[in-house]
A and B are shown apart, each in its own frame.
Chain A
């Protein structure tokens, strides 16, 4: 069970918002880059969020560049999951590869600052602040296998090859 506070963001949060290009030189220093996570969407997010909190977006979360650094630093910052109405393709795939849960649900039901409880097993999201219960769309089976193995590198390490059947 994941528990934390909701940090609300709008539609079209790009990887430039998450990992700004001007910090390109920090890509080989991920803990340092993580200090700037989501800086161009909310400059105070990195300093004020607590480990376990949730990033809650709107439509098309993570659009733009293929930089895997984006989900990696969200994960490194201690965010327990990203909730959004929809995700951009590469960000979604990268998140699974780095072990960051990305959940598709109706985020209009969640307000900034709400306390959330997320059960990855049952697919249920509980908003403890407003009492609403939401469900998230189950991940494709292929991605569940990779996520359960702890990401793509661990999956390959474990099986010596792709083992997605």
Chain B
């Protein structure tokens, strides 16, 4: 039997083959601590009398949760950590260097290895094909001291992703949607393996976003194969010698397979106070927001800044809106300065906070007031997360927070993608997909128009003209405007349906009309129509019934009955 990524890595580190469900004591390559969990870990090591770490070069303490320190107690914790690093030779990532999960992936994480970290979002490293998982201070302290830990080899869920994201829709929307679908405990104890053609094409920044949030579904790890993209990323960080190819066996056993086609995914927002409380942007649009926040280990990389900068460039922040922006690391900060994004955001009205966790920890950098509502790129919206239990937090992609900062209420970023296109970001504008949608929409519209004309005769002439106009519009102006065209189409159909009912009623109250429709034709039309999308289907059902009613020309009574039936079935007149 083949192995999953988790089984492969844990087997290679346990010294023998292990499978899901088994307990393995495995060698750990890398240990992570931050300023909130480090001091407790050091005290546990003191209790154990440990003075030497198994491999101090691969034990890293990050000062990022309160950076720079906001209180004397935390300054003392920082000092305590600095002293320990000095004494043991453990690595120190100073205040201002960045968020542990951003920096560790830039500089330390290696495919095929095991990273344990005293921070739940350690799972971010899974994007590089490293078995990375969060544990408590004590577990990671023991790992740092002895170079090993115990693991229950997790069962794996395969998350197979296909399709191209619509412009304005991003991997953050995908992971929020997945968590909303399987639940905040949907993958507890499991390892998520993200794969499929869409993942293969994703850059590392997007992969980090996915792996980062695996824990929000309860997962132990969020793993992605190590491939050419991984290699290029390591090269860009001067660590190409650390690359190895690694993927799950084709015949690996998965407890569950979840397939997601992202081409139909909409921007997604998590409502307070759980991550799985997800809604599409259509539902969320219009909610008043006091503060947006771009940052955290989920979305604080150069690519995230790029999306935001391109949407807000040259625009003005909504009156009364506050915008906190935090680069994930000093490397990201230098990048976004070089690329001009930093300046764009400053000019737009964002307030810059130095690299670190910022308000996501709830101690500094933008704590909301009582009753205020924030929309952030964070991974958690728990009660009190940003430091005020009387405030609310919504989660979304960088694009959603950018659109929201402009409008002052939660807004759909898709309306801004045309501007992204003109600036030239090919991977987020896909005209081919839209053209296909437009063509298919045109065919549907034309067929419905012709059917309507056949059935209703002159009465439908006006409606049919409108539909044809919409069809032309959709073809000529494919792109984001297809949506608008489809909406017009919907409206037309709704009007058509109500006109049909009215026409039949009028006919019934005067005299029975002649049936001019051939039976075979009607059947054929009906068959085709059932293949249409749900919204269209509803109205078509009405028309089909209407036709039946018309056909029973001689018997006025029977026709009446049929109309009643129609009303019953569709629930409306």
Contacts and interface: CB of A to CB of B under 8 A. Distances in A.
A and B: bona fide binding partners? yes
A72 to B, nearest CB: 8
Given A28-B76, A86-B188, A67 B36 contact: yes
A64 B380 contact: yes
Interface in A18-34: 20-22, 24-29
Interface in B175-205: 184-185, 188-189
Contacts of B386: 21
B136 interface: yes
B184 A68 contact: no
Contact of B36 (A22, A24, A72, A161): A24
Given A28-B73, A90-B135, A153-B47, A68 B382 contact: no
A14 B185 CA distance: 12
Contacts of A65: 119-120
A18 B510 CA distance: 73
Given A20-B389, A97-B138, 18 more contacts: A12-B274, A16-B380, A20-B362, A21-B387, A22-B387, A27-B40, A63-B184, A64-B120, A65-B120, A66-B119, A66-B122, A67-B37, A68-B138, A90-B136, A94-B135, A151-B138, A153-B47, A162-B25
B295 interface: no
A93 interface: yes
Given A24-B74, A140-B152, A12 B44 contact: no
B306 interface: no
Interface size, A (range)? 35 or more
Nearest to B118: A66
A164 B24 CA distance: 10
A24 B66 contact: yes
Interface size, B (range)? 35 or more
A157 interface: yes
A40 interface: yes
Top 7 A-B pairs, shortest CB-CB distance: A21-B362, A68-B136, A94-B136, A25-B73, A60-B185, A66-B120, A16-B382
Interface of B: 23, 25, 36-37, 39-40, 44, 47-48, 65-66, 71, 73-74, 76-77, 80, 117-120, 122, 134-139, 142, 146, 148, 150, 152, 184-185, 188-189, 215, 218, 220, 274, 361-363, 367, 380, 382-389
Interface string A95-133: 001100000000000000000000000000000000000
B154 to A, nearest CB: 9
Nearest to A142: B23
A72 B234 CA distance: 39
Nearest to A14: B382
Contacts of A41: 383
A68 B39 contact: no
A27 B48 contact: no
B353 to A, nearest CB: 16
Interface string A137-165: 00010100000000111001100011010
Nearest to B357: A21
Contacts of B184: 12, 60, 63
A162 B380 CA distance: 34
Contacts of B117: 66
Given A20-B389, A22-B384, A63 B185 contact: yes
